[in-house]
Structures are given as C-alpha cells and as structure tokens.
Amino acid sequence: MYGAGGAGDAQENGDATVGVQINHSRRLPDFLLSVKLKYVKLGYHYLISNLFTLCLVPIMIIVLIEASRMNPNDIRQLWLHLKYNLVSVIICSAFLVFGSTVYIMTRPRPVYLVDYSCYRAPENLKAPFSRFMEHSRLTGDFDESSLEFQRKILERSGLGDETYVPEAMHSVPPKPSMQAAREEAEQVMFGALDNLFANTKVKPKDIGILVVNCSLFNPTPSLSAMIVNKYKLRGNIRSFNLGGMGCSAGVIAIDLAKDLLQVHRNTYAVVVSTENITQNWYFGNKKSMLIPNCLFRVGCSAVLLSNKSANRRMAKYKLVHVVRTHKGADDKAFRCVYQEQDSAGKTGVSLSKDLMAIAGGALKTNITTLGPLVLPISEQLLFFATLVIKIFFKKSVKPYIPDFKLAFDHFCIHAGGRAVIDELEKNLQLLPLHVEASRMTLHRFGNTSSSSIWYELAYTEAKGRMRRGNRVWQIAFGSGFKCNSAVWEALRNVKPSRNGPWEDCIDRYPVKVVSE
C-alpha cells in the first residue's frame, strides 16, 4: 500500500510539474510583452517629462543662428532705442521690483524638519506573545473563546515578540489607574523630547509653538501643559492639544504647526504624537473590541520644525505638501472606528468589518487631490485620457492607477496592521521594498498609532537609503474616518540621529514575517 501510494504521488507530482512547464512556456510571450510595455511606458514617461527641454533646445539654436546673422547696425539701433526711452525702462523696472516684492512677501514660508526623535521603551516592558497570552489568561476577564481569538489575531498581525506594553499592563491583575496613565504619558513624551533637545542642541525656551496629539487620553491639565511644566517653556508659547482624532492625527498636527509657522516668524515648532494604552485596554469579550489590544503598543515621536532660513543648512527635510481627507459625513465611515461600551458596560474601541473598504475609499479621495500635485505630467495625461474616454465615449474602461513610484522614492504607510499594509501595497502597485519600513515597524514596535510613520522614516534612514532630493510620502488613516498625507523632500543625504529607535537592531532587519 505504501509503495503504491508513493508511486501514485510521484506520478501525480510529475504530471503537475509538466503542467507547470507547459503553462510557463505558454506564458513566455505574455511575459516578453509585459517587459516591452514596461520599457515603452518608461520611454513615454521620460519623453513627456523632458518635452519642454526637447522643444526648447531647437528654438534656442534657431534664435542663436538668427542672432548671428543680424547686422551690427541693427543691434546698435536697438540699444539706442532703449537708452533714450528712459521712461519705459523706469516703468518696467518699477513693475518688476513691485511684483518681486509682492511675491516675496506673500509666498508661503518654507517649513523645515530640523530633526525628530522616536521613543523606545526599556527592555522590561517587552511583551512577547507567550507573556501577553499568559497575562490575558491570568486576569480572569476573558473567556476561552476570547483568548483563542486574541491568539489568532496575534499570529496573523505581523507583530514580533519585541513590542512594548505599558507598566500597568505587566501587573497581574493590571492596574489601569489615572496615575499610571499619567506616568506612561510622561515616560514616552519626555523620553522623546529629551532625546530631541539633546540631538539638536535647541533650548526649550526657543520653542514658540507646541502641538500635542493623543487620541484616547486627555487629562486635565492637558498633555501639552505637562510638557510646558516639565521643560519650563515660555509664557507666550502657542500650545495646542489634539484629542480623539485617531492614528492620522500626527499629520494633522504637522499641518497645524505648518499653518502657525506661516504666521509667526523666526521660531521653532514642536509636534509630539503619541497614544496612551494604560486606561484604554479592553477587558471584555466582544471580538471587534479585542483587536486593538493585540495591535496597539507603546510609542511616541517628537518632531522639531522651523521656518528660519538659517535652519535650511542643518535641516533634514522640507515640507512639500499636506493633503487631508475627511469622510465623517458618511455614517458608516463615522462609526467604523468607534469608542463605546459593550453590553457588560466595559469600554473599548470597536472596529467595523467595513473598515478596509472605507479606508480604500478615503485613500482614493486623498490621492485624487494629491496626484496632480506630485505626479509627473506623463502620469496625469494617462489618467486624464482614461477619464475622458470613460465620460465622453461611455466606454467601460478600467480606471488608470497612476504610478506613484515615479513621484516618491520612499513610502511611510501607517503601520495599523498587516491588512492595511497589504491593501496599500496591492492598490498602489508597490514593490516589497517600498513597504519594508512599514512591515518592519509593525513587527518591531507594533501599531504605535500616530507616531508609526516616524518610526518608519527612522528605519529608512537607519538603512542608509535617504538621499538628497528624495521624496517621502507619509500616509495615515484614523477614526472619523480620515486619510491624511504629508510629503517631504530630503535636503541632504540623511543619516540616522543619535539614540534612534533602530540603533541597536537595524542589522537584524528586514526579517521574514510569516503570514497566516
């Protein structure tokens, strides 16, 4: 029986192998065609992108040839005409000076990212899967079905064994008190800010604008007031505390700081992005509210922005665009990430089964606005041509997906979960290299909410991939529902800052993430 079975398997495997070979031989012309189309598209892109230059060169040659044929007397007559028509020259000069002055005074002031810092928790706060599950079992709050559900989510999440949870969650039973939540907030915010001030040598008294965002923990006095008190910031500081705005609030905070830097001259702005887990752990058995327990982990970022022209030389990046999309007018989008109480009165954040579809719609709206700002003209023409065919000729044409790889060198996709990264990789037709920073951040630090995009940027720098002129797309999703984008341009070859989050582990990455 064994021998016959083995032979039968071998025969079946042999047939399968032949079948695969035949399929590959049939697909070879298709493969060659796809390669040819790739190079055709690449050639089209370069042609359209350099069309102005290609047209300008022959025109300049013709002008130079005609100028060389001009009679010296004609040139002398033109000079005398300008010389004696003094009024015209003065009026033209006045308009030129006036126009230049108005442009300089009204143009948006450039916003520079001087440096940033990401908090890394101490080793004793690590939460490997085994410890996470053991503590969940010992709390006595979860039934067997909920424990099994959490185990499956952890296995499929894309998180590794080195993520961090706050001190209160390491106690058995957990101690999610207000005092413990304050201590977590102080630990992560002050840890990130201490490192930022040490690296940049900027004095806290020089900070003119402070923006803090934390979605679920809003004590009184506020988190921004805690920072002002700790670092003794000046009395006329413009401080803001953003709450309840979800994982995309980091980009919103950058946008607010950018607007303030257009008004207040020669100053620094600090943006602190974090989330507080201590008082927002869910101790019930509703499946949709257990997912955040498995994904969210400790993290914080502190970003130093400036509008001082003198800071351009030392800055890492320049802010190019911020595009914000809000889908809150739609009821489904509004409730897809919703903080509420379950039937037992226990508070948590519920995630809707429609979350990915809603995120996809928000992304589509966002890139419709962002695309014309960043995509080369070659991609915009292709997109416009598809739209014209669909509208005016009533053809059932598949929507053209612009190639954002032509606009950006690096992608920082919010590490909200493996499914989020997978979906954007597929929809934006990205390569594994483009989402590596997001996957590795999720694996090493988990979902750190609004600060995750900065851990991803730090990963790219630690790998030595950031070159002068490179463009970075930070994209984040948040409750409400929101999709927000920030575009940065590297002003130099960027090296990682001291005490970065990847400093002692970057050589171990990337790691292979097993997908269930």
- Active-site residues, by number, are 247, 326, 410, 414, 443, 447
User: Long-range contact list for 366-372, CB < 8 A, 24+ apart?
Assistant: 366/323, 366/324, 366/325, 366/475, 366/483, 366/484, 366/485, 367/402, 367/404, 367/485, 369/323, 369/325, 370/321, 370/323, 370/485, 370/487, 371/402
- For the chain, what is the radius of gyration of the CA atoms? 28
> Do the beta carbons of residue 279 and residue 181 sit within 8 Å?
yes
Q: What is the longest distance spanned by two Cα atoms in the chain?
A: 111
Q: Give me 120's structure tokens.
A: 């890394």
CA-based nearest residue to 189, from 267, 281, 280, 298: 298
Q: In the 8-state DSSP scheme, what is residue 110?
A: P
Q: Are 278 and 166 in contact (CB under 8 A)?
A: yes
What is the 3-class SS of 328-350, one letter each residue?
CCCHHHHHCEEEEECCCCCEEEE
Residue 352, strand partner residues: none
Please choose, from the candidates 389, 392, 413, 411, the residue with its C-alpha nearest in 3D space to the C-alpha of residue 400.
389
Stated as kind and residue range, the H or E segment containing 415 is: none
In this structure, what token pair is assigned to residue 150? 């959490």
Alpha helices in 435-493 (DSSP H): 436-445, 452-462
Angle between helix 72-84 and 86-106 (nearest 10): 70
Q: What are phi and psi of 239, to 5 degrees?
A: -110, 145
Residue-by-residue DSSP string for 464-478: T---TT-EEEEEEEE
401's torsion region: left (phi>0), alpha (psi -120 to 50) or beta? Answer: beta
Q: What are 396's two structure tokens?
A: 């059932």
Residue 260 near residue 245, CB atoms below 8 Å: no
Across 277-426, the runs of DSSP E, i.e. the strands, are 300-306, 317-326, 337-341, 347-351, 410-413
